[in-house]
Amino acid sequence: MRKFNPITKFILILISLIISNAAFSNTLTSKQQLEQAIQAHKGDVIYIDFWASWCGPCRKSFPWLNKIQSKYKDQGFVVISVNLDANRELAEKFLKETPADFAVIYDPKGKTAKHFKIKGMPSSILIDKNGNIKASHAGFFTKKISQYEKEISTLVSGK
């Protein structure tokens, strides 16, 4: 069996998520898409970010999410986002203005957010390598970036 370096592995997983999202978006629920994405990253630290186009703090969080994923991706870290806009065009406009270097799952009916009892935008859930939720945050605060990163680096290092 051929082994891939971490960057190639990440790109292949991301491509498969994009293809599966396009191929199955009419048949899989957003919750099922998220479950598949989590399963594809079993053994990794996963940061799930719930966001919407109208959310001001989301515009501030995306550059940090891109940066943090880039910093830790070779150590088994991935960001998966869930957009909650009822109108996908609004989400796509947001993404043109504020690009995401991570997977986006569309949840126009908010079922995934209801499942996780999300109360504000953005909200995040941090999952360890064993699939356990280790932290969650409502909102994104630049004053707390060092706390967010410490949580991630601790889980990535396995401490």
In this structure, is residue 126 part of a structural domain?
yes
Torsion of CA 129, 138, 59, 31, to 10 degrees: 60
The length of the chain in residues reads: 159
d(CA 37, CA 16): 10
**41-53 pLDDT, tens per residue?**
899 999 999 999 9
**69-124 pLDDT, tens per residue?**
999 999 999 999 999 999 999 999 999 999 999 999 999 998 888 888 888 899 99
| φ and ψ at residue 20, rounded to 5 degrees | -65, -35
In this structure, is residue 142 part of a structural domain?
yes
pTM of this structure:
0.80
In this structure, is residue 17 part of a structural domain?
yes
Structure confidence at residue 10 (pLDDT): 59
In this structure, is residue 1 part of a structural domain?
no
Per the structure, the complete domain to which residue 22 belongs is given by 6-157
In this structure, is residue 72 part of a structural domain?
yes
CATH of the domain at 110: 3.40.30.10
Helices 30-40 + 6-24 axis angle, to 10: 160
CB distance 34 to 46 below 8 Å: no
Q: How many domains does the chain have?
A: 1
